[in-house]
Amino acid sequence: MVKPDIKQFNEIAQAFKMTSEERKDFGEFLEEEKAAGYGGTKNERGDFTYQELQKKAREFLGLELEEENFED
Amino acid sequence: MNLMLIQLIDSETDLKQLQEIVENICGEICWEAKLSYGDELSLEIGDKIPYSHKLMKNKQKGSWRFGTRGSRWRLYSIYFTLDFPANSQNTVSLLNSSKISRKKIRKLIVSSESELKIIKQKIKLLEGNEISQFKLNYPDLVLKISFNNKYELQVFPDWEDDYDLPYWELFTTNNMVLQLGVGRSWSYQRSDLPMNAATEPLTGEELLKTMKEFEYFPKKRVALICGYFYIDEENKIAAKLNDFENAVAAASNINLI
């Protein structure tokens, strides 16, 4: 169990104003991403760095798409 | 506002409401046991509900969801042995004896300290089993979840850590989440509102909706949950207060049913 990682993950969820339910789903989503080969670079297990978690959070919440559309 | 009930745990009676909240989980089936991000043990329990999120479509989650939050845990298999009286003469006298007792034996299957590969494999034993008990033990606050009386999961709070995280959480069927910790306390709050939205007061309409949802709680307790408001003896919103402490004090001073 890696509490610093969980705390970091929690901070990202809070920064993106996720609900507790979304935070839980986001955790499942990240594991799915790791299993599908889209893991992070933090370690050999595919965990995510802080910046990667931020990017994944945006992807999970559909924010990147909205930003791209806004730019268009 | 993120509605939050926080109960400090100073005596066994402080766990009474918690046990009422979780009593309906008994009889539900745990159909998936897995590790979530951060190696949190995660159990999907009860009805299978499709994720509403588009990136998770075709996947399902439980109507009850349990997760550890970095806490230590142990999974035991449970079996019973019979203790026979030492001087039993024959089978008939043995079976008629009132001195035979049943002894509960726990054998460790796997724990949070085990190798990841072993954990992923062994926790699958829980799948397909019915929750037969969900009990927070007092005074050590060790959570014991029994599965078909065959397996027992124990989750241990760590009083030394300062990570400001709960020890475990249970998402319930009514968009609420129950958490143990931080420290010797438990909380029960909405799971469908932003986690850091606790400082925004409810509108009157939201408050009335909340009162309906919490109708099984004493009204005084609802006033406390709602924080920035309290309810007078005619069930009307009596005041909008500036801070939570004032609301608690006001709710404590009026005689609500």
Q: What is the pLDDT of residues B132-159, one digit of tens each?
A: 999 999 999 999 999 998 999 999 998 8
CB atoms within 10 A of CB B191: 21
Determine, for residues B56 and A25 on separate chains, whether the beta-carbon distance falls below 8 Å.
Answer: yes
B64, B172 Cβ separation under 8 angstroms: yes
Which residue from A6, A21, A25 is facing B38, i.e. has the nearest CB? Answer: A6
CB-based contact (8 Å) between A30 and chain B?
yes
Q: How does pLDDT run across B39-94, given as a tens digit for each residue?
A: 899 999 999 999 988 888 889 999 999 999 989 999 999 988 877 666 656 666 66
- What's the DSSP call for residue B23? G
Q: How far apart are CA B135 and CA B142, in angstroms?
A: 8
Q: Residue B161: what pLDDT?
A: 76
What residues of B are in contact with residue A9 (Cβ under 8 Å)?
A: 37-38
CA distance B189 to chain A (A): 9
Q: Is the ipTM of this complex over 0.90?
A: no
CB atoms within 10 A of CB A49: 13
pTM assigned to the model: 0.77
- What's the DSSP call for residue B194? B
What residues of A are in contact with residue B64 (Cβ under 8 Å)?
A: none
More confident residue, B53 or B3: B53
Average pLDDT over every residue of B90-104: 70
Determine, for residues B53 and A7 on separate chains, whether the beta-carbon distance falls below 8 Å.
Answer: no
Read off the tokens for B205: 């309409």
pLDDT higher than 50, residue B256: no
Read off the tokens for B115: 């190798």
What residues of A are in contact with residue B168 (Cβ under 8 Å)?
A: none
Q: How far apart are CA B129 and CA B148, in angstroms?
A: 6
